[in-house]
Every structure is written in structure tokens, then in C-alpha cells.
Amino acid sequence: MALMTANEYVESLRKLNTRVYMFGEKIDNWVDHPMIRPSINCVAMTYALAQDPQYADLMTVKSSLTGHTVNRFTHLHQSTEDLINKVKMQRLLGQKTASCFQRCVGMDAFNAVYSSTYEIDEKHGTRYHENFKKFLTFVQDNDLTVDGAMTDPKGDRSKSPSQQADPDMYVHVVERREDGIVVSGAKCHQTGSINSHWHIFMPTIAMGEADKDWAVSFACPTDAEGMYMIYGRQSCDTRKLEENADIDVGNAKFGGQEALVVLDHVFIPNEYIFLNGEYEFAGMIVERFAGYHRQSYGGCKVGVGDVVIGAAALAAEYNGVEKASAVKDKLIEMTHLNETLYCCGIACSSQGAPTKAGNYQIDLLLANVCKQNVTRFPYEIVRLAEDIAGGLMVTMPSQKDFDSDTVVGRNGETIGEICKKFFAAREGVSTEDRQRIMRFLENMCLGAAAVGYRTESMHGAGSPQAQRIMIARQGNIQGKKQFAKDIAGIQ
């Protein structure tokens, strides 16, 4: 099958029997739901750009499994150039959508599970690697979107999976059969889960022998029997339900998506199992996936940051202060922070190396440094954007007020005319354009888009402490002490 078009992707979702719930009710036509559709548009952009010849080198690549041209989001990295192009592709998509385009988790899961299953088979004589290669070939041949599902609810975080009062706090095997396994549990904060054709489930922490029933990884169609999604709320999300409110929404076309994914005794055939009780490899999958995903943030968040910087510069221009030295300095600082994140993404990619399985892995230390910076710099970028924009981005009347023909003025002026008069921009800029950029910044800094930029920068791909733990492991303090001893003459 050839690469799907954006429209073919959207239509393919209609063929799924995915169970979606929102506000306590089942959503039958979730593809066209106004709160969900912007996130579908984001994923569709990954298909649209792959059809554009000017982006072919970034968006498509020859498959190492089949030799066919595939979307890079389904690719196994074969070189440091592949790793670098991944980051460049993610920045491009951030620039095009100003949001989360959701396919990164699947791509990162592919590469982590591919190399891990090779080493599991090497030790245990299992056939997980062959299972995975067949599955990924199927994904590439059909140009599918696959969600990577890692984050369990965790319950009491002081206890391991086997110690939880409720075993469903971590996805686990409840029955082993000759033809497969039955699993139960849930995954939280799942980016793009509803918009995916399939899911790859992975462990979320390193595990011991007592946790072997929780040491499980597998692929599952999104509309599998016993699997359903509960849609996650975002700030200002119900604005998307209002009529004629595209300005108030901020980014009316694109958006992110998270959901609680529930597995209620779901059967998984043997051919889709990639880990089943080999507990000592749970940590490997987690570490490798986290490394790839922390690299991803040096691309996607930088692309979105480019748009935030551009919006802040427009707000300054519309306010008539673009020449002020203080504003120029803030924009310079925002750019400096954003490009520093990009440097980290490129650096951990350029220092990558092949795994035993042959696909390339990033430098884990630098990938964790990248993500640690992402937990900080977008917050400062947003703070400076809010500083430049001014308070109007959070105090402006609604779009309905600007459109209102209710008379309130002594001379017969309407509410709309009053709003347009007192919130006018500089000469040559329409009030509506000023409205749009202010609402857009509100959405990026505080609203629904902030979920995929500011807050996700903190918690996506692991909390800041998770990166600090990995930096401590990879930092080689003993080696650095030896450098000092050698130069200081200490025996």
C-alpha cells in the first residue's frame, strides 16, 4: 500500500469501532467531535507533509525491513543521520501545527521494543523479535498510526506492581493461554490514543521477579474487545463547543489529545506479544523508550516554541512596541532558549550508536540533559511571551461581545463597536487581528495548547526527577574524579 493521504487517514479512523467516552457519555461520532477533531487534524498533518515533495527527505525514508518508502514515523533509525532527521521532522511539524502531533510515542516505542526484543530472544530463546518485525512490517505497509502506551496509574507509588492493593494499577497478565494472554489494567495520559489504529503497550518501571506478571509488552488494535478510552479534559476545552468562537479557541484547527486507556480482560494473540514475564528486561524497554522520547522533545517543543516566539513578536508589533529595546531583548532570550533545546536534540542524535539489533540509539546522557532543559526553558519562554503580550490576553471580552449588535452607547453604539474601539491595535492593524493573536497566545500559554507545550514539557517522557536519576547513572562521576586525580598527581 502507498503512503496514506491526510484524508485517507481521517477516513480510516471512521472504520474503527473505537469506544470513546467524554463527560460521562459514549461519543459515537468521535472523529467529527469539535473537541477531538483538532487533534486528528494534527496527526493528519504527518500524512499531508509526507505527500509534499519539498519535505520528502524529512518525512519519508526507505524501510530497513522491506526497502519500500515509508513514513518516518514508522521507521527504525539506521544511522545518526536518521536520528537527526527525526528531530528536524518534529520541529517542522511543531511549526506547522503549534501543537502535539501525537505520532512520536509510537515511533519511539518501535525503536525501543525492536532492540529490546532482540536481546530478550538472545537470552531466553523467545520469538519476540520476529513477532515485532512482522508487526512493524504490517504497520509500515499500511501506513498506520500506533500509540506507545507506557504510563500506568501506579496507585501507591511506594509499592511495586505486585504489592499494590489493586493489581490493575499496572497492566498485567491475568491469564496465560496456549494461543495468547489476557491482560487487564490501564494507561494514563495517553497522547493520541483515540487517533491511533493500534497501540503498543510497554512496562513503565524496572521490575523484580515478584512482578513478572506485570512485565508485559504487546500490540493491540485500538478497537479491540474490552479496550476503551476516557477522554482527558484540557483548559478552556469547551470553547470548541461554542458556535462562531474560532477566535476565542485560539488555535481552532489543531490541538493535542490525552486519554485514559482501559484494558478490561483483553485477549492478545501470541503473535503480538513482545515481553511476557521476562522481568529483568522491563527496565531496558523503559530506559530506551524514555531516551528516544526525551530526544523527541528537542524537536517538537522547539517547533512549537518557534510559533510562540512569532506570536509574541506579532503581539509586540500590534501593540506598537516592537522597537522597544526591552521587547527585542526578550525575543532574543526566547530564541536563545529555544535554540538551546534544539542543540540538545541534535547533539544526542549525532552521538548515537547502533544497538545489537542494528537500529540506532541516541546518547542517553545527552537525551536526558535535553529533556531536563525542556522541563525549564518552555516555562521561561511562555513567561516572556506573556510579558510581551500584556494582560489583554487573559482579560479580553468574548468573541460574542465583539460581534454583538446590542446597543449600549449614548449615540447608539453597540457592544461590538465599543469593544472594537477600545481594543483597537496600532494604525494599520485590525482589531480582529489583535484579538486573534492575543487569544492564540492565551491558548499556547494557558489554554488547551499549553497541555501539549508547557505542562507536557514538565511531565511528558518522565518527570524532571526521572531525568536527573538517569543523568546521575550516565554522568560517570568516578571517571571525572580520575581525570582530576591524574592531573593533580594523586595516586
286 occurs within a structural domain: no
3-state class (DSSP) for residue 63 = coil
The pLDDT of residue 449 is 82
Please list the residues that pair with 182 across neighbouring strands: 175, 267
For range 135-159, the mean pLDDT: 97
The pLDDT of residue 452 is 83
- 68 φ/ψ sector (left φ>0, alpha ψ -120 to 50, else beta): beta
pLDDT above 70 as % of the chain: 100
Cell of 167: 493489581
Number of folded domains in the chain?
Answer: 1
139 occurs within a structural domain: no
Instruction: At 192, give phi and psi (nearest 5°).
Output: 70, 20
CA distances in angstroms from 96 to 44, 59, 70, 89, 148, listed in the order given: 12, 13, 21, 11, 23
pLDDT band at 112 (very low <50, low <70, confident <90, very high): very high
* Domain carrying residue 419: 296-479
Q: Using only C-alpha atoms, what is the Rg of the chain?
A: 24
Q: Say how many C-beta atoms besides its own lie within 10 A of residue 446's C-beta.
A: 17
For range 141-163, the mean pLDDT: 97
Is the pLDDT at 483 greater than 90? The verdict is yes
Concatenating the DSSP letter of every residue in 258-324 gives -EEEEEEEEEEEGGGEEEES-GGGHHHHHHHHHHHHHHHTTTHHHHHHHHHHHHHHHHHHHHT-TT-
The pLDDT of residue 22 is 98
Contacts of 187 (CB under 8 A, 6+ apart): 149, 150, 151, 152, 171, 193, 201, 260, 261
55 occurs within a structural domain: no
Is the pLDDT at 440 greater than 90? The verdict is yes
Alpha-carbon span 366 to 92, nearest angstrom: 22
At residue 282, what is the residue type?
Answer: A
167 occurs within a structural domain: no
Contacts of 182 (CB under 8 A, 6+ apart): 173, 174, 175, 265, 266, 267, 268
C-alpha dihedral (223, 224, 226, 231), degrees to nearest 10: -30
**Is the model more confident about 168 or about 455?**
168
Residue range 379-433, pLDDT digits in tens: 999 999 999 999 999 999 999 999 999 999 899 999 999 999 999 999 999 999 9
Is 254:452 a contact under the CB 8 Å cutoff? no
Concatenating the DSSP letter of every residue in 430-468 gives -HHHHHHHHHHHHHHHTSHHHIIIIIHHHHTTS-HHHHH
Cell of 343: 542543540
pTM of model > 0.85: yes
Is the pLDDT at 455 greater than 90? The verdict is no
Is the pLDDT at 451 greater than 90? The verdict is no
361 occurs within a structural domain: yes
For range 307-322, the mean pLDDT: 98
Alpha-carbon span 274 to 350, nearest angstrom: 29
Alpha-carbon span 285 to 360, nearest angstrom: 15
pLDDT band at 1 (very low <50, low <70, confident <90, very high): low
Alpha-carbon span 96 to 98, nearest angstrom: 6
Q: The domain that contains 469 carries what CATH number? A: 1.20.140.10
3-state class (DSSP) for residue 101 = coil
Residue range 19-64, pLDDT digits in tens: 999 999 999 999 999 999 999 999 999 999 999 999 999 999 999 9
Distance of CA 219 to the CA centre of its chain: 19
Please list the residues that pair with 198 across neighbouring strands: 146, 221
- Pairing relationship of beta strands 198-201 and 146-149 according to DSSP bridges: parallel
For range 127-135, the mean pLDDT: 98
Instruction: Decide: residue 170, CB within 10 A, 0-12 exposed, 13-18 middle, 19+ buried.
Output: buried
356 occurs within a structural domain: yes
Residues recognised as catalytic: 100, 104, 191, 258, 293, 297, 300, 456
Alpha-carbon span 147 to 200, nearest angstrom: 6
96 occurs within a structural domain: no
309 occurs within a structural domain: yes
Is the pLDDT at 447 greater than 90? The verdict is no
Q: Say how many C-beta atoms besides its own lie within 10 A of residue 179's C-beta.
A: 9
The pLDDT of residue 93 is 98
Is the pLDDT at 450 greater than 80? The verdict is no
pLDDT band at 2 (very low <50, low <70, confident <90, very high): confident
Alpha-carbon span 171 to 52, nearest angstrom: 40
